[in-house]
Each structure stands twice: as structure tokens, then as C-alpha cells.
Amino acid sequence: MADWYAREIIEPGKQPLMVLFIAFVVTFLFIRFSVRMIRAQVKWWPGNVTPGGVHMHHVVFGTVFMVLAGIGGFTPIGGDRPWAEIFAGLFGCGTALVLDEFALILHLRDVYWSEQGRMSVNAVFLAFAVIGLLLTGVAPLGVSDVDDTSLAGYAFAIIPNTVFVVLTLIKGKIWTGLIGILVPIFVLVGAIRLARPMSPWARWRYKTGSKKEIRSLRREERGHARWTRWRNRLQDAVAGKPSA
């Protein structure tokens, strides 16, 4: 195990990213455990931080951690050990705290335990997947697969993949598009398949009552509804079920 870690993580210079990943996961699991304990009104668990009666959301602490880590990473010691790992761990903690309240930032109100709050968990799951893929050595937009290191070679790989990513996102497939930045096969499939009914592509290209619109609606009702149920069950098990 030590040999594998040295070969796959330390030698390629991915140890700070590994520390960031671990800090991100541990912090998210801890903060979700904490808020669930507070929600259940467990007496022996510390409550919310409310200095002067003001409820301090953990996104505030996350922002401070990210700022400190970001500034520290650009100092002369930012690339040296162990500071690179320390700043990476601090940034991972901050990222988890910020993304766990992403829905609050987006809506500018406390929707933590509402259905809209699921967006925060989606953001965390997506970040988990992206960081995990980066740890495996995957590069964005197929750059890692380029054999010709010339400018033309990179352009040939990046431009088509970028077009597929944008097309997939316009078709309303956010998860597929964002994961496809690192795994191009996802966006290739997403760009070919039908758009989701409420996406910009469907509004621009599918006429009301057309066969494509009807097929898109039926697919949404069958496939996406089923996926949403399974995703919500996983989210409820990890992060807690939203209030009615």
C-alpha cells in the first residue's frame, strides 16, 4: 500500500490534492452529522453558533478557510511541504462548508432543509466526483489523451470536447455535462440524445406538440423521475431528508 501511494500519489505530485479530497469528504460528513444532531435537538450536542444572537451559517467559516488557503497557496511557502498539504486541507474543509450551503447562497435565503436545499448536496456529490476523477489522473477536455503536444494537437482535442460540453449543458443535462469535462464520452452521449423538456435546446428546437417534444416528455417522466427517486434516497440517507 505504501509503495502504491508513493508511486501513484507522491511521485506525480498529487498529495496536496489527496489531502484536499480527504478533508473535503470528512468535513462534509462531519457537518451533515452535526446539523442532523442539531435538527434532532440532541441535548448533549453543541447547538448553532450564534454570537450576539446572529446565526452564523457554516458557509461563513468555509469562506474564511478558502480565503486563507488561497492566499497561503500563493505565498513563497505555498508550494513547499508541509504547507502545500496544509493549505490544501484547509481549502478542502472550506469547500465542503461552502458547497454544503450552496443552495442558501443561490437563493439568498435559508432553504437548507427544503427541497431546494437538495441542490447543495448535488453540488457536493458533483465536487466529490470531479476531485476523485482528477486524482485518477484524468485531465479536462481530453487533454490527457493528446499524443501530439503541438498547439494544433491540443486544439483538436479541446475544441470538439468543449462544443460537446456546451451542447450537453444547453440540453439540460448538467451532471452529464460537468462530468463530461473530465470524461468526454459522457458529453458525446449527452450531445446526441434528446434534450430535457425544460432545457434551452428544447425550447429553441422542439415545436409544441412535435414528436421530439413528446418523446422528451415521456423520457423525462420515465427515466429522470426514476433516477430522481434513487438520487433523493441516497441524499436522504447521507444528508437527511428535507422537511415537508
- H or E element that contains 120: helix 118-135
pTM over 0.75, yes/no: yes
Distance of CA 64 to the CA centre of its chain: 20
The pLDDT score that the predictor gives to residue 228 is: 80
Closest alpha carbon to 160 in 178, 179, 180: 180
Helix, strand, or coil here: 91? helix
- H or E element that contains 134: helix 118-135
Candidate from 22-26, 58-62, 211-215, 224-228 with smallest mean pLDDT: 224-228
The pLDDT score that the predictor gives to residue 142 is: 64
Q: What percent of the chain has pLDDT over 90?
A: 27
The pLDDT score that the predictor gives to residue 186 is: 85
Plot region of 13 (φ>0 → left; ψ -120 to 50 → alpha; else → beta): left
